[in-house]
Amino acid sequence: MQQDRPFRSFWILTACWFAILLFFWLFPSVDIGFSRLFYSTSACPPGGTAGQCGMFPLGEIPVFVFLRTVLYYLPVVAVIALVASLVVPALDRRLDWPEISRRNRLIALGAWVIDAGLIVNVLLKAYSGRPRPADTSIFSGPHPFMPAGSFSGACTSNCSFISGEAASAGWLFCLLALLPPHARRWVLWPVLTVSVLTALLRVFFGRHFLSDAILAWLSAIVIFELLAAIFGWNERNAPEKSSAA
């Protein structure tokens, strides 16, 4: 029964993902309304269309830009640390992290590669066609708005559906599973705050809609659960046996 738990979690989370997608597809005004909260209209220059000029001002404030840059690189640092934890012990076994199984580290790294790397950035963002908020006519851009889940938009590359940074942020939250239970309690809320803020900043800046951020964040957890179910997550806070090495 315990071995079935990751698969149950995967199917429940997958159902939630599609339910959220359906909600935003049926009620696109939620995406538009939330982005409007962070959009500021301005006077149009000569030749501009009245009422069609404006910006997302938070994306122009240096402190927010700096914060986004720092948060952007946090998952990158985590990826480098995971790769190092797998490569360095191959050269010197004394430098291994015995309290975190190698299988768990491989699952975590694989989840990032498959989700943020392949599914989000290589497939969805390249072919979804959904223009980013700032590129839509609602927010002074040249393209018509497209609801979440529509693949017929005018965007040709690096599109809005779904957010790569939000996917990496969701994956960063998944890394809590690598820690022993007593350590998770101490870092849960700081990591969750950083993870959610990373995703929301993309919405505040007009680079993604709310649906892009939520679905991307959740997609990381879905893929993480899938790999954990397929390959078996080691819940022990002890070195793996040689058979699992």
The whole-number pLDDT of residue 232 equals 87
Tally of structural domains, the chain: 1
The whole-number pLDDT of residue 131 equals 97
| Residues 75-84, mean pLDDT to the nearest whole number | 94
**pLDDT tens sequence across 131-167:** 999 999 999 899 999 999 999 999 999 999 999 999 9
pTM over 0.85: yes
Whole domain around residue 165: which residue ranges? Answer: 2-244
**pLDDT tens sequence across 180-219:** 888 888 999 999 999 999 999 999 999 999 999 999 999 9
Listed in sequence order, the residues at least 6 apart from 95 whose beta carbon sits closer than 8 Å to its beta carbon are 88, 89
Please state, in angstroms and rounded to a whole number, the distance separating the CA atoms of residues 223 and 163. Answer: 15
Listed in sequence order, the residues at least 6 apart from 59 whose beta carbon sits closer than 8 Å to its beta carbon are 65, 204, 205, 206, 207
